[in-house]
């Protein structure tokens, strides 16, 4: 497995360790990383910007395909400050494993290479980069401490996995 490079163009970055793993709640989809690692990234933003959090990579460790249904940043960030626009899935091979940590959106050709997450199929053994696009309405000191991905297996079982090892935050320019 290739280790991802992180594409950044950030004014502020705090990276304490690699991405983290979360309990898989019994399903075959798993986040990459070490369950004991904690990391965070804080972007400086302005009102009206659109940004993307894309540090999360998941792998289907099962024997059958799974279908992604949603992904979102979880935290106490008020909708008046920032809210999810969409979640997208990207095969990391298409970007030579350049994994986007956080950046202005759209970034390079990632919008064209990625697909809406709802209905995206992850084959057994495949890796997928999860990207969450956010509209910043009012820049402030806000952090989402977790990323959540929901999906279904071929037998119709629904699962939710949570990565609490990578926090994504925004703050205004000083």
Domains and CATH numbers, the chain: 5-172 (2.60.40.10)
C-beta separation of 118 from 70 below 8 A: yes
**pLDDT of res. 65:** 97
Q: How many CA atoms lie within 13 A of 46 on its CB side?
A: 1
* Number of Cβ within a 10 Å radius of residue 155: 6
C-beta separation of 128 from 89 below 8 A: yes
State the Cα angle at 137 between 107 and 101, rounded to 5°: 30
C-beta separation of 149 from 58 below 8 A: yes
Cα–Cα distance measured from residue 21 to residue 24, given in angstroms and rounded to the nearest whole number: 9
**pLDDT of res. 9:** 35
**pLDDT of res. 37:** 63
Please list the residues that pair with 7 across neighbouring strands: 100
Q: Give the three-class secondary structure for 95.
A: helix
**pLDDT of res. 165:** 66
pLDDT less than 70: residues of the chain: 1-25, 33-37, 165-166
- pLDDT tens string 15-56: 323 333 443 467 999 988 664 567 777 888 889 999 998 878
Cα–Cα distance measured from residue 152 to residue 115, given in angstroms and rounded to the nearest whole number: 17
């Amino acid at each position: 497995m290739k280790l991802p490079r992180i594409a950044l163009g950030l004014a502020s970055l705090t990276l304490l360790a690699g991405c983290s793993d979360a309990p898989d709640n019994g399903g075959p989809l798993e986040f990459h990383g070490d369950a004991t690692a904690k990391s965070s990234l804080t972007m400086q933003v302005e009102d009206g910007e659109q940004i993307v959090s894309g540090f999360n990579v998941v792998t289907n460790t099962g024997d059958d395909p799974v279908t992604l249904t949603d992904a979102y940043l979880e935290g106490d960030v008020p909708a008046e400050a920032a809210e999810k626009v969409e979640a997208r899935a990207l095969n990391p091979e298409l970007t030579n494993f350049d994994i986007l940590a956080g950046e202005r959106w759209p970034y390079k050709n990632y919008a064209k290479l990625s697909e809406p997450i709802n209905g995206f199929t992850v084959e057994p053994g495949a890796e997928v980069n999860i990207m969450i696009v956010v509209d910043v309405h009012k820049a402030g000191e806000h952090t989402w401490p977790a990323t959540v991905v929901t999906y279904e297996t071929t037998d119709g079982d629904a699962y939710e996995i949570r990565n609490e090892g990578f926090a994504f935050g925004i703050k205004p320019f000083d």
